[in-house]
Chains A and B, each alone.
Chain A
């Protein structure tokens, strides 16, 4: 089974600062990789995904992530944090069938004014 590790259950950044949320996975086969955002009492919203092709993936709201196979990582970044970015972020991995989704434990992002 695959596993997903999100380093840091809580991350705080100042408004305008760089956002970096870390995600590492364990898989011997290149997986599909996802980042989701969840606002309080809401469902998951897909930020971005990597399946094949270019390893730098751009998503919504100015977020992007880079798939680094050698590091088995898929870290999420945003150059400048906004207050509206405060939410819970989940990294997820699936195999190519989409049958199994493995979620990380989530990272709560706080943006300080």
Chain B
């Protein structure tokens, strides 16, 4: 249990284009999803927290118009990097949390992470 799928795993795009990254919880309902960014050789930086059906909460310094987050269902959140530039190149990782214990091995209030998306903007 507790599988979070992130797609695509790697994307290369031209400067000025937009890129959408999907994060899905496959075997539980994710009331909350998180988006992180990781720079080379550094730790994860929380970008935003999204609750299903409501607007995302962005961390200080994260441009909400640049990084659009949608959490339209309990199993899917998307991050769209709009008008991407080379400085947006990074590793983006999502995580999902279930507030209610679903039984089995899925523990409530624990974040489960996707495998990440490597974005390269040329």
Contact = CB atoms under 8 A, between A and B. Distances in A.
Interface of A: 32, 36, 41-46, 49, 51, 90, 94, 96-101, 103-106
User: Interface residues of B: mostly helix, strand, loop or mixed?
Assistant: strand
Given A41-B118, A101-B46, A105-B42, A32 B93 contact: no
B50 interface: no
B115 A43 contact: yes
Interface in B100-122: 107-116, 118
15 contacts: A32-B110, A36-B113, A43-B113, A43-B116, A45-B113, A46-B113, A51-B110, A90-B44, A94-B111, A98-B32, A98-B110, A98-B111, A104-B43, A106-B42, A106-B43
Sorted nearest first, the 5 A-B pairs with minimum C-beta distance are A43-B115, A98-B109, A43-B116, A44-B113, A103-B43
Interface of B: 6, 32, 34, 42-44, 46, 49, 91, 93, 95, 97, 107-116, 118
Contacts of A100: 46
A98 B93 contact: no
A46 to B, nearest CB: 7
